Amino acid sequence: MATIKEVAELAGVTPTTVSNVLRDRGRVGTATRERVLNAVAAKGYRPNLNARALVERRAPTLALMLGCITNPFYPEFTLQTNNAARRHGRFLLVCNTDYEPDGGSGFLAEVAGSLSDGVLVANTGSLQVDELKSIQATGTPVVISVWEFPDVDPGIPCVAFDSHKAGYIATDHLLDLGHSRIGALVGSEKNGIHGGRYKGFCDALRARKVKHLKTDARFGTDSYQGGFDAALDLLTSTPDLTAIFVSNDLPALGALNAAASLGFNVPEDLSIVGITNIELTSQSRPALTTVAIPTAEMAEKSVDLLIKLASNDPDAPAMVRTADPVLIKRASTAAPKSRATK
């Protein structure tokens, strides 16, 4: 492979000038720049990124830690993060942690060593905040990309969306349609990762003085199969529900299928609403009403924040908030039968 020296000789400049052109640094005239780029092309020169990383004390990659790439939220988030990273000239190292025997701790430590100059954590999952802090302490910036609780500082720089509002909007939509007997499938324990979404659900009901029976909720359902199983159970034990609030789209799609299996017509017999707005929600039959969270914005703001931290920008904030979630009305929700026929 050609060396930078050969390129410099061909262009009649110093290696430093070649380097400046390739990194878009320093003052280089247009004619010189063009001569250098022609020489780079002629020699087929490719800068050695590892050497550059050593010299600049940073690697050209950002790492994204996520639970499992096959949960459809993550590919969508990964794509947005990837594109944001590319706009900053970085490559994205995608790290699946779910299948690591230690829950991703070892992965995180190794990636943060010198393979990447910053770590985005899309799913804290089994990674503890203390672990993230210990990575930070070694000088590698860490950003939590998807933080559900804008009122709580996790102690790590983060991008937060208002999960409580997402739950509230979804529930308000069902109440506006006239539902008053609404079940809930919650992806986590009551105070877990979907706790904000569930609290939004409870608060929306309370604001309209609609009762929420404990027997109408199921927790820990955050997968397609989890939603399917929990909806079967809920609808079998409480067939008079006219709507189900689901704290995430994937279990909502499972619930949609479970309802059909039991002979419920959605939305005529039963309304179902999710949260997130993954691509699949527009492809299910019926298409799923959901509350969109700003995935692309979260990805962009996470990368922006991480790069600020990596360049020791003193103005890097501790938390960046996204725009509010918005209702995406599709075909899985309608007025309950009793009301529709009144």
Residue 163 three-state SS: helix
Rounded least distance, CB 115 to its own copies, Å: 5
Rounded least distance, CB 84 to its own copies, Å: 11
Rounded least distance, CB 278 to its own copies, Å: 9
Please say which residue, 1 or 31, places its beta carbon nearer to its own copies.
1
* C-alpha distance from residue 108 to each of 122, 133, 249, 277 (Å): 13, 12, 28, 29
Rounded least distance, CB 68 to its own copies, Å: 7
Residue 275 three-state SS: strand
Please say which residue, 80 or 171, places its beta carbon nearer to its own copies.
80
Please say which residue, 52 or 199, places its beta carbon nearer to its own copies.
52
Q: How many helices (H) and strands (E) does the chain have?
A: 13, 12
Please say which residue, 126 or 257, places its beta carbon nearer to its own copies.
257
Please say which residue, 18 or 202, places its beta carbon nearer to its own copies.
18
What tokens were used for 66? Answer: 């996520």
**Residues near 162 by beta carbon (within 8 Å), at least 6 away in sequence:** 150, 196, 321, 322, 324, 325
Q: In what order do the strands lie in the sheet with 289-292?
A: 217-219, 182-186, 243-246, 271-276, 289-292, 326-328
Q: Phi first, then psi: what are they for 326, rounded to 5°?
A: -135, 145
Please say which residue, 204 or 306, places its beta carbon nearer to its own copies.
306
What tokens were used for 224? Answer: 């397609």
Rounded least distance, CB 16 to its own copies, Å: 20
Rounded least distance, CB 21 to its own copies, Å: 16
What tokens were used for 82? Answer: 């990837």
Residues at the contact surface with its own copies, assessed by CB under 8 A: 1, 44, 46-51, 53-54, 59-61, 68-70, 72, 74-76, 78-79, 82-83, 86, 91-96, 99-100, 109-115, 138-139, 224, 253-254, 257, 260, 279-280, 283, 285
Given a contact cutoff of 8 angstroms between Cβ atoms, the answer to whether 267 and 241 are in contact is no
Residue 308 three-state SS: helix
Q: Which residue blocks in 111-193 are alpha helix, DSSP H?
A: 129-137, 163-176
Given a contact cutoff of 8 angstroms between Cβ atoms, the answer to whether 271 and 244 are in contact is yes
Rounded least distance, CB 274 to its own copies, Å: 14
Please say which residue, 86 or 329, places its beta carbon nearer to its own copies.
86
